[in-house]
Amino acid sequence: MTTGNIHDFLRGSKDVAIAVAVRSFFNSKYSRIGQMSDVAIDTTTREVRVRLELVGEPTPVEIHVGTYNIEQHGDQATLTISDATASREWITELLRQFVVGRPIAIPERAAAIVKLLA
């Protein structure tokens, strides 16, 4: 295995570990509205793909975050999503109006995961 392959393997392993942690956090916090059945994170391209099984929805909802940015301000970290779409047009519009471009405060208990995303 070459140095480049080792780096890619380690980055891929890190991305998988982050995805497992994100899914676990989401599912424990938001179980009343549904489950995150799949999440893929690419920390190099800062891209995220999520599949949600939401209560009352007959089919899964797919969300694609094209780019995100993590900023640290002292003890507080924020996540800003620059581009996002969903498999439901109305969810894409909600994302555009309420999420895209707005800093989202990251809970302190998720700080370790956030550092890996940056």
- Residue-wise pLDDT for 99-111, tens only, equals 999 999 887 776 6
| Choice among 3-7, 88-92, 106-110 with the minimum mean pLDDT | 3-7
Q: Give me the amino acid identity at 39.
A: V
With residue 65 as reference, give the H or E element that holds it. Answer: strand 61-73
Q: Give me the amino acid identity at 73.
A: H
Q: Which residues span the domain enclosing 65?
A: 3-117
For the chain, give the number of residues. 118
| Choice among 61-70, 74-83, 108-117 with the minimum mean pLDDT | 108-117
Report helix, strand or coil for 63. Answer: strand
Angle at 113 between CA 50 and CA 37, to 5 degrees: 25
Please classify residue 107 by burial: count the beta carbons closer than 10 Å to its beta carbon, then call 0-12 exposed, 13-18 middle and 19+ buried. exposed
Number of independent structural domains in the chain: 1
pLDDT grade for 116, boundaries at 50, 70 and 90: low
Say how far apart CA 105 and CA 17 lie, in whole Å. 22
The pLDDT value given to residue 63: 98
pLDDT grade for 5, boundaries at 50, 70 and 90: very low
